[in-house]
Amino acid sequence: MENILFPENLKESYLVDVADVATKRQYRAVAVRSCIELLLEHLFFQFVSEMVIYEKWSKLSVYQKIELIRETSSFEPGFYENLHNLRLTGNKGAHASEHGNITDEELRSSFNCLSSLCTSLIFEYFKINGMQSTENTSTIFSCLQPHQRLTVLNNYIAWLGDIECDIESSKRFYLKYVQAFRNNDIDETVYRGHFPKPLRLQQSLNRSLSHEYWVSSSLKCYDELLLVIDKLCLAYLKSGSFFLAISVARRFYLSGHITEFYYDQLCLKLNDMYPKVSGYPIAKSQKESIYNLSQIESICSKDIDIAFAKLIRCILTNEN
């Protein structure tokens, strides 16, 4: 992965404190270009029309790919302009004749823009695939520092809240799920400690819970909503905002999105974790995040996981 973002002949020099300012600017511009090429090659293909085959896509230039995305997808208009601006900055790193025209301000703006663009992409990725597309999705996402996750999670949870689904029937199903757990009539492997994680409700179905109920879109949406509420509360807690974490849980309880039992268990979990939070393996810098991501990448075998990890890695270049 690092060999994609940082060509082998540049990597070692780029990752240390380069004394020559002009050379460092060049390396940073090359990194911008590498990130854009990486995102276009592996991520954006998911958002173009199904009529576009990958063989055709892979042969297009960066400019042509951006224009095809503009024609076949529905991002905000400014999104495409940002892509083109990043392309132009990257070109200055790729072409020797442009090296003298690279400015620090342009690079700072480009990396901020790249981070914002990647954040938007994660949001779009979750809208298409959800946070439970594979068992590694939420783990890969958690490699970002807590404050980096908050923007995506808040946008995603607002989007989920706007989807029409039968919350009341889904809550009744969830209560049956809880009752089955209390009666020791459920697969306990979906639990971690004392708290029933919302992740993978589908895999926990047994004779007490009908498969036909699960396949309803309302329940799938509700399952995803439970997971994102959990992740949002944890992100606030791990960013040092315990009271915001509790207030998020209370907001969704008062709005009727979660049951009293779920709310009580979530608050118990947050209170239990609060005094121990400093001991959790939370990345405190981009370098720590990159290290954590590398460990997960080494066990990723599915293409969808590998592509999502590449997106997260592009965000993590912002500080370099």
Q: Along the 320 residues of the chain, how does pLDDT read in single tens digits?
A: 333 344 444 444 444 555 577 777 887 888 888 888 878 877 787 777 777 787 888 888 989 988 988 887 777 778 888 888 888 888 887 776 777 788 888 888 888 888 788 888 888 888 888 887 777 888 889 888 888 899 899 999 988 877 766 666 666 666 666 666 556 655 544 433 333 444 334 444 433 444 444 445 666 777 788 889 999 999 999 999 999 999 999 999 998 888 887 888 889 999 999 999 888 878 877 788 888 888 888 888 777 788 788 888 877 765 44
Estimate the share of the chain in helix, then strand, then coil, as percent rounded to the nearest 5. 75, 0, 25
Integer Rg of the chain from CA: 22
User: Contact 132/161 with Cβ under 8 angstroms?
Assistant: no
State the Cα–Cα distance between residues 128 and 225, nearest whole angstrom: 14
